[in-house]
Amino acid sequence: MSVSPFKTPPLEWIRAFEAAARCGSFTAAAAETGLTQSAISQRIGQLEKQLGTNLFFRRARAIELTVDGEAWLPHVRLALTTLRDSSEALFGSGRGQMAISASQSIIELWLLPRLERLGRIAEGQLSIQTMVLGAHEADVDDVIRIRYGAGDWPHDHKLKLFSEKIAPLASPELAGREGHWTDWPRIACSGSRPGWNSWATRFGIATTPVPHLRFDTFLSALGAARAGMGVILASLPLCERDIREGRLVRLSDETMDHHESYWAIAGSDAIARSQWSELVKVLA
Nearest to 103 by CA among 274, 273, 238, 280: 238
Quote the percentage of the chain above a pLDDT of 90: 76
Residue 253 has pLDDT above 90, yes or no: yes
What pLDDT is recorded for position 134? Answer: 46
Using one digit for the tens of pLDDT, what is the confidence trace for 32-79?
Answer: 888 999 999 999 999 999 999 999 999 888 899 999 999 999 999 999
What pLDDT is recorded for position 135? Answer: 46
**Host H or E run for residue 19:** helix 11-23
Q: Are residues 145 and 16 in the same domain?
A: no
Which of 16-20, 59-63, 112-116, 238-242 is predicted least confidently?
59-63
Mean pLDDT, residues 4-8: 81
What pLDDT is recorded for position 233? Answer: 98
What pLDDT is recorded for position 50? Answer: 95
Q: Tell me, what CATH number does 38's domain have?
A: 1.10.10.10
Mean pLDDT, residues 149-156: 91
What pLDDT is recorded for position 92? Answer: 57
DSSP summary character for residue 96: S
* Final residue in a domain of this structure, among 41, 69, 91: 91
Q: Are residues 22 and 84 in the same domain?
A: yes
Using one digit for the tens of pLDDT, what is the confidence trace for 102-151?
Answer: 999 999 999 999 999 999 998 778 999 998 654 455 566 789 999 999 99
What are the two backbone dihedrals, phi and then psi, of residue 248, each rounded to the nearest 5 degrees? -135, 150
Q: Tell me, what CATH number does 217's domain have?
A: 3.40.190.10
Residue 159 has pLDDT above 50, yes or no: yes
pLDDT-derived band of residue 90, with 50, 70 and 90 as boundaries?
A: low
128: Cα separation from own chain's centroid: 16
Q: Are residues 50 and 107 in the same domain?
A: no
What are the two backbone dihedrals, phi and then psi, of residue 149, each rounded to the nearest 5 degrees? 170, -160
Contact (Cβ atoms closer than 8 angstroms) between residue 138 and residue 265: yes
- Write the CB contacts of 208 (distance below 8 Å, at least 6 apart in sequence): none
pLDDT-derived band of residue 83, with 50, 70 and 90 as boundaries?
A: confident
Range of the domain at 124: 97-162+261-283
In a domain, 1, yes or no: no
